[in-house]
Amino acid sequence: MRLGPLDARTPSNCRHTAQRVLRTVAPVRLPSWTAGARHKPCVCQSGSGGVSDVLQPTQQQQQQPAVDGDATEETFATSTGVVEPVQEGAAEIDFLGESTEGDLQLHLVDSLRKGKAGVINVFGMQSLDDIYTLPLGKLKAATQSVLDVLDVPESFPDGNPQRAIYCSRTLNLRSIKAIGYDMDYTLIHYDVNAWEGRAYEYGLETLRQQGVPVDGLRFDPDLVIRGLIMDKEYGNLIKVDRFGLVKRAMHGTRMMNWQEIRELYGREVVNLRNEGRWVFLNTLFSVSEAVMYMQLVDRLDLGMFQVGAGNISYQALYGMVSKALYRTHVEGKLKAEIIQAPERYVELDPEMAQALLDQRDSGKQLLLITNSDYEYTNKMMSFAYDPFLPAGMRWRDLFDMVIVMARKPDFFNYNMSLYEVVTADGLMRPVLGACKGGLYCGGSARMVEKALGVEGDDLLYVGDHIYTDAALAKINFRWRTALIIRELELEIDALARGRPHRDALKELMTKKELIGDVFNQLRLSRQRWVHGHTAAASFDDEEGINETLAQLLMVMEHLDDRIGPMLERDGEHFNKRWGYLSRAGLNDKSQLDRQIEKYADIYTSRVSNFLRYTPYSYFRSPSQSLAHDRNLTRYFEKTYGGKSGGSVGLSSGSYSSGGNGGNGFGSPYDEGPDSDPEHEQDLA
């Protein structure tokens, strides 16, 4: 039979490939790589309305234990009682608002339930109440001794903070029934310089053919970082804080000074919803595009463009660059090259496979949802995972469902046509619905929920793109979200190396705050005396007071001369132009960090970091300090006596002092109180 017309929302690559689809939908025995993990064969209806294929499980999958919904594996009896998992119908909401489904619960034996004493010999305790008197240090040492026996490394903050998982919103991983993964820069990590550098070269060649003056340009990965924003109206690249205020800016490849920033953006609050002007660089795929655009802005300013008729605007220039890079990806030149030599572009992580195996064996359903096509997905996943899996397993055995050419973000917005991949070379046929074990093209998030029997916060989605992977999944479907930020490892190392610089800078700013307070009080007293509002005895020597004000002003200006350059160098261990990824100024979060905090429940540098945390971890968000609840140690000790156990926060409070030479409008360090991202806490 011939295929009917394809839905307009069908992925373009699917529409192209569908011309090669099987003309009849007779039963086809699929190769082993199309089978789903751990599930019985399932039947999916085809578009013909009755003909179906049976997905045959691989031999490896047939040997897997049936762990989905099977609690016997974790049900066992002890002298204390019977331990078993909390089932869905019996799950409750804990005191942090998370479901207890997947937790282990203890049914005490009758003697203990009636209040009789039991034997407690865990970590040196003899009774339940001993936990309240057991010193924290002793308990910590005892727990670590067990972890040492299990050969488990220490966790953050004592362990490696670069491999930690950080929590913005409390998440009980035990209650998660399904985990979905993006592929590029999530399950597969690329050498950014190699990948983006090659994409840049392909883009330049496309522009060269259009007559754009690109000769002599070279890829400079240090020119931009993730989280910056392109201003297409002025040809600028800017770094914005969480409030939308511009903190650093670059026109072309030249950094702008504070006066230029104030004149252009002093009254501007950047609104990312205005996509006609702003482009948020929220993924590593944006690096090559931004580098090329900023370099060409320089050449546009020099009058080097002779393309078409009339003048080219910064907006039009961005359109040319964006289309050139888009063609690089759509035409498949770059991916074809990567398929031929994946070792040049892919950074292998041997721990990744074990992390996914642990999640799968704990009963969680695993999904792969990628915008890449099947051929590329199969090659990359085979290269990165097959060598590290048990004998007889392939990467497909890890997943309950694989969706290629998903067309995110539309995947989270629309019900697109669904196609099943039925042959090793990527031939497809339309189907009406999905089922476990399937390999599909297109479809929608709603289809995934229906096929797997999950919805909302039953599902955790892991990806590297704030918008297409995290924001839409959370906003439209209430999925829990995890963001992969590979640069986080470099960021944390830079924060640690830059700590002495920041401490010295904060000390200078604290000195200015103290002097500024005295200066302002003297200035106010003088003002009152001049206007006759008070007869201050201190003003018997007006000349002496004036001299004191002048000298204090001189000291503050001298401090400014030191503070300004130090503030500009803050974060240079990460990037000399833009500073830290998560910071905008000394004491505030960047717009990127604000987006992470808003849309990602947890974030980390790589998927293999889940290996340390197990599929049963309970991630709790840290205390979020406000300006008024920081540094209360001295007040507590003075008012209530005793010791509070240390100050709250890292700063000495707000650094905004007034007065001439103080932190007036437009000052480079007019900041609020410290606002530490979670990955910056406990790094001392």
pLDDT greater than 60 at residue 10: no
Average pLDDT of the segment spanning 486-514: 95
This prediction has a pTM of: 0.82
**pLDDT band at residue 587 using 50, 70 and 90 as cut-offs:** confident
H runs (alpha helix) in 398-498: 445-452, 472-477, 488-497
Furthest CA-CA distance within the chain: 105
Query: Sheet harboring 278-280: ordered strands across?
Result: 254-255, 246-251, 236-240, 229-231, 278-280
Sign of CA dihedral 187, 190, 192, 198: negative
The residue with greater pLDDT, 328 or 63, is 328
Q: Give residue-wise pLDDT tens across range 96-111.
A: 788 888 888 888 877 6
* Calpha distance 567→583 (Å, rounded): 12
**pLDDT band at residue 657 using 50, 70 and 90 as cut-offs:** very low
**What's the chain's average pLDDT?**
82
* Calpha distance 326→339 (Å, rounded): 19
Most confident region among 148-162, 264-278, 323-337 by mean pLDDT = 264-278
User: Quick one: pLDDT at residue 661?
Assistant: 39
Average pLDDT of the segment spanning 572-597: 93
Q: Give residue-wise pLDDT tens across range 175-223.
A: 999 999 999 999 999 999 999 999 999 999 999 998 899 999 999 999 9
User: Quick one: pLDDT at residue 200?
Assistant: 94
Nearest one of 105, 106, 99 to 175, comparing CA atoms: 99
User: In this structure, are strands 439-442 and 401-404 parallel, antiparallel, or unpaired?
Assistant: parallel
Residue with tokens 């140690």: 633
What is the distance, to the nearest Å, from the Cα of residue 621 to the centroid of all Cα atoms in its chain? 15
Of 44-53, 105-114, 413-422, 434-443, the least confident: 44-53
* Calpha distance 414→416 (Å, rounded): 6
CB neighbour class for 142 (10 Å; exposed up to 12, middle 13-18, buried from 19): middle
Most confident region among 89-98, 225-234, 644-653 by mean pLDDT = 225-234
Average pLDDT of the segment spanning 409-418: 89
* Calpha distance 419→441 (Å, rounded): 5
Of 154-168, 262-276, 476-490, the least confident: 154-168
Of 394-403, 554-563, 586-595, the least confident: 586-595
Domains, in order of start, for the chain: 1-67+153-188+347-486+605-621 (3.40.50.1000), 72-149 (no CATH), 192-340 (no CATH), 491-592+630-680 (no CATH)
Of 115-129, 383-397, 636-650, 655-669, the least confident: 655-669
User: Quick one: pLDDT at residue 679?
Assistant: 74
User: Quick one: pLDDT at residue 14?
Assistant: 45
Percent of the chain with pLDDT over 70: 80
Give exposure, 1-40, as e/b (b: 16+ Cβ within 10 Å). eeeeebbeebbebbeebbeebeeebeebebeebbbbbbbe
pLDDT greater than 80 at residue 669: no
**pLDDT band at residue 557 using 50, 70 and 90 as cut-offs:** very high
Of 95-99, 252-256, 387-391, the least confident: 95-99
User: Quick one: pLDDT at residue 53?
Assistant: 39
pLDDT greater than 50 at residue 496: yes
Residue with tokens 């049900």: 75
Number of neighbours of residue 103 by Cβ within 10 angstroms: 17
Q: Give residue-wise pLDDT tens across range 18-48.
A: 334 333 333 333 333 333 333 333 445 444 3
Residue 482's SS3 state is: strand
User: In this structure, are strands 439-442 and 418-421 parallel, antiparallel, or unpaired?
Assistant: antiparallel
pLDDT greater than 60 at residue 663: no
User: Quick one: pLDDT at residue 15?
Assistant: 41
pLDDT greater than 70 at residue 274: yes
**pLDDT band at residue 648 using 50, 70 and 90 as cut-offs:** very low
**pLDDT band at residue 644 using 50, 70 and 90 as cut-offs:** low
pLDDT greater than 50 at residue 493: yes
What is the distance, to the nearest Å, from the Cα of residue 298 to the centroid of all Cα atoms in its chain? 32
**pLDDT band at residue 232 using 50, 70 and 90 as cut-offs:** very high
**pLDDT band at residue 285 using 50, 70 and 90 as cut-offs:** confident
Number of neighbours of residue 277 by Cβ within 10 angstroms: 15
CB neighbour class for 231 (10 Å; exposed up to 12, middle 13-18, buried from 19): buried
Q: Give residue-wise pLDDT tens across range 130-183.
A: 888 889 988 888 888 888 888 888 776 678 899 999 999 999 999 999 999 999
* Calpha distance 406→368 (Å, rounded): 10
* CB distance 21 to 3 below 8 Å: yes
**pLDDT band at residue 87 using 50, 70 and 90 as cut-offs:** confident
**pLDDT band at residue 72 using 50, 70 and 90 as cut-offs:** low
pLDDT greater than 90 at residue 63: no
Of 126-135, 221-230, 255-264, 290-299, the least confident: 126-135
* Calpha distance 554→213 (Å, rounded): 51
Phi-psi category of 642—alpha, beta or left, where left has phi over 0 and alpha has psi -120 to 50?
left
pLDDT greater than 50 at residue 573: yes
User: Quick one: pLDDT at residue 622?
Assistant: 84
